Structure 1
Amino acid sequence: MLKFFADRGGTFTDIVAVTNNQGIIERISKHPERFLIVPLPNQEWIIVYKLLSENPEQYQDAAIQGIRDILGLGSNELIATEVIEVVKMGTTVATNALLERKGDRVALLITKGFKDALRIGYQNRPDIFARQIILPTMLYEQVIEIDERYDADGKELMPVNIEQVKQDLQAVYNTGIRSCAIVFMHSDRYHHHEQQVDQLAQEIGFTQISVSHQVSPLMKLVSRGDTTVVDAYLTPILRRYVNQVASQLPGVRLMFMKSDGGLVAAEQFQGKDSILSGPAGGIVGAVQTSKRAGFELVITFDMGGTSTDVAHFKGEYERQLESEIAGARMRVPVLAINTIAAGGGSILFFDSSSYRVGPESAGSNPGPACYRRGGPLAVTDANVMLGKIHPQYFPSVFGIDGNLLLDKDIVVQKFTQLSQDIATVTGNTRTPEQVAAGFIAIAVENMANAIKKISLQRGYDVTQYVLCCFGGAGGQVACLIANTLGMKKIFLHPYAGVLSAYGMGLADVRALREKGVEQPLTSALIPQLQQVMESLVTQARTELSHYEDSSEQQVIRKLNLKYEGTNSILTVDFTSNVTVMRENFETEHKYRYGFIQLEKSLIVESASVEVIQKMDTPEESLITRTRPLDELPKSVEIVRMFAAEQWHDTPVYRREDLQPEDTISGPAIIVEKISTIVVEPDWKARLTERNHLILQFKN
């Protein structure tokens, strides 16, 4: 049987397969240039495969094509689904639709008098000194004001005018809109009116109906409404993609990664849960592998082709309840990930006065200049120019036919021309490699600043953390990032180049449920909170009821607390002891903001429950040393690498040739089939028995 874990990124799609099928292993082992095969202790193998996310001349969907390639199928052969046990995926389909504003047409149904409430929002000014405020475009196309109202205590002030709503819905339906978002005042507590209108929309024929008390059952009309509109906008396009994948894999158990770091069955995957689907897999993979390696304080650093994602881990996944992506506000629990537009495909510019890196990306088509598709200079090209990437150690997946090596000649040609252009404009004569190093320094600074936002700016001392580097481009800049931040240790898993895909296989199924409370935290409130918690646990377990082995479930109960009169929410573990919860809140508040307010009472904004269904995860194989301890690994060749403002004769090692306790002193390059690791001159690398690579600062 086969298990597939897939992550579709902006540039590459990564596939990790686990199988006990000897025939498949024998067949693909004949193509070592395309596949990485690793034996596991339990008579299984892991297969690692990487292909371009966009290659329209070769295939329509990269994830499905990856599965077909591993199974050895031709373009017209059907996938033998009986040999596939499960497919777990992360996808950027919904994220891209949001970024490009290509979701479905949406009608907003809202309480009369609040037609412009979501457009007005909270009147935030991201750039406080901007003289011209450019509001983000709204995701909904039309607004229907519904003449209905409850007051804050649940008294019905005005019932729904059924006939009028029918007419208005039919008129919108006749314009071709098939998706609607229903958002009424106080419906987080009093659902009846939303349920009535939901029923009417179903009868008329709307195919996507997002109802606010189901999507985001918390108070505050604007944030609840924003989340509901995002769900209505993205779920249809997500559903079409899921159906497209499912049609290629009939009868196969298909699961997707949610933004909160948990897996969910394909039929339960919703737009609001999909925005960070791919990056969440990377965080899960980084955290779980780091814990296996013995690290509990982790900064995750995922550098791919299009973007870089960073996150902070200190014993548990950090989530944020409110987030804004591409101008769309949402209030759903998502992993706290800071994303910047800096990756291997980030385009390099010289604007007559300064170097700039990104945010525009060359993607996978055309990709960087070295991809042989006529692309512009990008970060990957700079590393080729510096001798940190060598074409012979990179997969042969480039060019129109997807079978060529990287093109170093075009990179040298373009950087030579760029250095001449810079000299002409500025009079500053710099060699092509110095120009490339300058661009890399800017990219590194941008990425280090992203890490500072989730660590130093929140009071965490990053020098006490390990930097878990992954993504196809992470190993190329790992030492430079650590140098900038003063970090002393870097962790690189053997599957670091595809860790987002591997993370899908390490993730558990998770069901989160929330309910607004908005009452002072007192001992008298505890019985009510316990009832709320039990109700939420029941709801979450119902969602997980069709998964096997329910005895392996773990339940986590949390409260979101704030000082009375404030909006700054902090999350604490729920206990029956009010004093303990207050102490935990004040400890975190003091750590986060530098002060506490003893005179103020605490308000329970909401209660949340997370039920975790443990899943079978791949084991990690141990490797043994067969060479004497005093015998060093042999390099495969000596290359030239530009680092620290000079060229170095640099040995190249294959990772599969390294053995436990081997130590390599930089400068050095360690090559894998799926990524390249650059050991800068002031660093050294050591391999552990788990095949983990630990990079440490020499001093």
Structure 2
Amino acid sequence: FDRQIVLPELLYAEVIEADERVGAYGEVVRALDEAALRRQLQAAFDAGLRAVAIVFMHGWRYTAHERTAARIARDIGFTQVSASHETSPLMKFVSRGDTTVVDAYLSPILRRYVDQVAAEMPGVRLLFMQSSGGLAEAHAFRGKDAILSGPAGGIVGMARTAEQAGHGRVIGFDMGGTSTDVSHYAGDYERAFETQVAGVRVRAPMMSIHTVAAGGGSILHFDGARMRVGPDSAGANPGPACYRRGGPLTVTDANVMLGTIRAKYFPAVFGPHADQPIDEEVVRVRFAALAARITHESGRPQTPEGVAEGYVDIAVQAMAGAIKRISVARGYDVTRYTLQCFGGAGAQHACRVADALGMQSVLIHPLAGVLSAYGMGLADQTVMLERSVEAVLDAEAV
């Protein structure tokens, strides 16, 4: 039992209960009280709210009441009106409502960004990446479709560049600063149609991606008995200890300690004034202190290099385990696949991860560090529509 429950942060500030009900077969059980709804929405608008999500029972199929409520909200002046029959016209009230709330929450932020970009580039046709792996026109780009658009670009880039290099079956290994995204490709994109993102359920087409909390910025822990990597991250600020901003030891620092990362190959952009090289000395000092502590508390002699090696091995096993969940656990033989590594930290661990999985081939594209952005340029413009169909399953219906 958790004695200190931390409740999730809600995406909405207020709930309005509309006096209406439409039955499962379209019969109006209770007509929508438009006057009462207008008063409630006006009060919310006067309180400073500008976005509204509308979801009614059976509204995915019988849309009249949702359309009326949306019209009232727009008449009052709400700048973002998301109705469930437009955002997620599918059965299941709760997931339809969750998706509509996400869309109402994200779309105003997204719209401001899109409008700003459009204002800076007049006359230019703008296309934006969606979580489904396709591009959308600016006017059709919605919040619910943008949640995993960055990683989706990575999968498109991975698949297209792998095919160009003659690799038809690839495991994507996208390692960044906070986490690692892994994906499977064998000729067709794999998509999930209901996903939980940051604890919020979203029902929208998204590239199938498995994420593990192991990245270049994952913090190294020792609790007196065991070594642990992550799940917390040092981020970009303060960043790893070698960034000269007083950050904690991370996977990146372990690679500095092992010589995988060498200061002479990096520009002098670190420190408070972004004008110093990577600090190798502080990494050596910090790992020496950590090795001494582990030696004292465990009774087993440890060297700084051995400790760094151990932490990297822990991270590698976590990432290899994630790949097994999307491949071996589903019946795929990873030894017949190519491991394609990208992201800022992917290439550092490519061979270790491949060895842990028994993979014989590793592909690192020249643009591996920016492959997600490159993949957006390779993506096709697509429109994906969903709807629930109630029909007898026979040849004619199919």
Identify the TM-score tier after normalising by the shorter chain. Answer: over 0.9
CA distance in 1 between counterparts of 2:235 and 2:5 reads 30
2:288 alignment counterpart: 416
- CA offset at residue 348 of structure 1? 0.9
1:396 alignment counterpart: 268
Alignment of 1:177 with 2:49, yes or no, is: yes
- CA offset at residue 250 of structure 1? 4.2
Alignment of 1:430 with 2:307, yes or no, is: no
3-state SS in 1 of match to 2:235: coil
With 417-426 and 295-304 compared, the bigger mean Cα shift is at 417-426
CA distance in 2 between counterparts of 1:519 and 1:223 reads 22
1:391/1:132 CA distance change after superposition, 3 Å: closer
1:491 alignment counterpart: 363
3-state SS in 1 of match to 2:391: strand
2:59 alignment counterpart: 187
- CA offset at residue 246 of structure 1? 3.7
CA distance in 1 between counterparts of 2:276 and 2:153 reads 30
Alignment of 1:512 with 2:384, yes or no, is: yes
CA distance in 1 between counterparts of 2:338 and 2:113 reads 37
With 424-433 and 160-169 compared, the bigger mean Cα shift is at 424-433
Alignment of 1:342 with 2:342, yes or no, is: no
1:253 alignment counterpart: 125
Spell out, residue by residue over 1:5-60, the C-alpha distance to the aligned partner (whole angstroms, 9 max, x if none).
Answer: xxxxxxxxxxxxxxxxxxxxxxxxxxxxxxxxxxxxxxxxxxxxxxxxxxxxxxxx
2:333 alignment counterpart: 461
1:399/1:353 CA distance change after superposition, 3 Å: same
TM-score, structure 1 normalization: 0.55
Sequence identity, in percent? 58
1:209 alignment counterpart: 81
3-state SS in 1 of match to 2:295: helix
Structural mapping, 1:345-424, within 5 Å: 345-424=217-296
Paired residue type of 1:243: D
Alignment of 1:160 with 2:40, yes or no, is: no
CA distance in 1 between counterparts of 2:354 and 2:213 reads 19
Spell out, residue by residue over 1:521-561, the C-alpha distance to the aligned partner (whole angstroms, 9 max, x if none).
Answer: 202314xxxxxxxxxxxxxxxxxxxxxxxxxxxxxxxxxxx
Equivalent position to 1:240, from 112, 117, 125: 112
CA distance in 2 between counterparts of 1:159 and 1:191 reads 13
Spell out, residue by residue over 1:288-342, the C-alpha distance to the aligned partner (whole angstroms, 9 max, x if none).
Answer: 0001111111110001112111111121100000000111001100000011221
CA distance in 2 between counterparts of 1:132 and 1:393 reads 47
1:333 alignment counterpart: 205
- CA offset at residue 133 of structure 1? 7.2
Gaps in structure 2 of 5+ consecutive residues: none
Paired residue type of 2:251: V
Spell out, residue by residue over 1:379-404, the C-alpha distance to the aligned partner (whole angstroms, 9 max, x if none).
Answer: 11100100111111124332233343
CA distance in 1 between counterparts of 2:141 and 2:267 reads 33
Count of aligned pairs: 398
Alignment of 1:265 with 2:152, yes or no, is: no
Spell out, residue by residue over 1:225-261, the C-alpha distance to the aligned partner (whole angstroms, 9 max, x if none).
Answer: 1100111111112222333444444444333211011
Spell out, residue by residue over 1:637-683, the C-alpha distance to the aligned partner (whole angstroms, 9 max, x if none).
Answer: xxxxxxxxxxxxxxxxxxxxxxxxxxxxxxxxxxxxxxxxxxxxxxx
Paired residue type of 1:454: I
1:216/1:437 CA distance change after superposition, 3 Å: same
Equivalent position to 1:313, from 177, 185, 202: 185
Paired residue type of 1:318: E
Alignment of 1:229 with 2:101, yes or no, is: yes
CA distance in 1 between counterparts of 2:24 and 2:360 reads 54
Alignment of 1:303 with 2:175, yes or no, is: yes
Spell out, residue by residue over 1:192-230, the C-alpha distance to the aligned partner (whole angstroms, 9 max, x if none).
Answer: 110000000001111111100000111110111110011
RMSD: 1.7
1:402/1:134 CA distance change after superposition, 3 Å: closer
Structure in which a larger fraction of residues adopt strand: 1
Paired residue type of 1:348: L
- CA offset at residue 135 of structure 1? 5.4
3-state SS in 1 of match to 2:26: coil
Alignment of 1:287 with 2:162, yes or no, is: no
Gaps in structure 1 of 5+ consecutive residues: 1-128, 527-699
CA distance in 2 between counterparts of 1:480 and 1:272 reads 36
Spell out, residue by residue over 1:130-171, the C-alpha distance to the aligned partner (whole angstroms, 9 max, x if none).
Answer: 798765343222111111122122122222111011111111
Higher RCO (Cα < 8 Å, 6 or more apart): 2
Structural mapping, 1:28-67, within 5 Å: none
1:134/1:406 CA distance change after superposition, 3 Å: closer
CA distance in 1 between counterparts of 2:208 and 2:256 reads 33
With 281-290 and 371-380 compared, the bigger mean Cα shift is at 371-380
Paired residue type of 1:261: G
Greater Cα radius of gyration, structure 1 or 2? 1
CA distance in 2 between counterparts of 1:515 and 1:479 reads 44
CA distance in 2 between counterparts of 1:343 and 1:438 reads 15
CA distance in 2 between counterparts of 1:132 and 1:222 reads 27
2:315 alignment counterpart: 443
Paired residue type of 2:291: S
Paired residue type of 1:206: F
Structure in which a larger fraction of residues adopt helix: 2
CA distance in 2 between counterparts of 1:453 and 1:133 reads 29
Alignment of 1:503 with 2:375, yes or no, is: yes
Spell out, residue by residue over 1:65-92, the C-alpha distance to the aligned partner (whole angstroms, 9 max, x if none).
Answer: xxxxxxxxxxxxxxxxxxxxxxxxxxxx
CA distance in 1 between counterparts of 2:126 and 2:234 reads 31
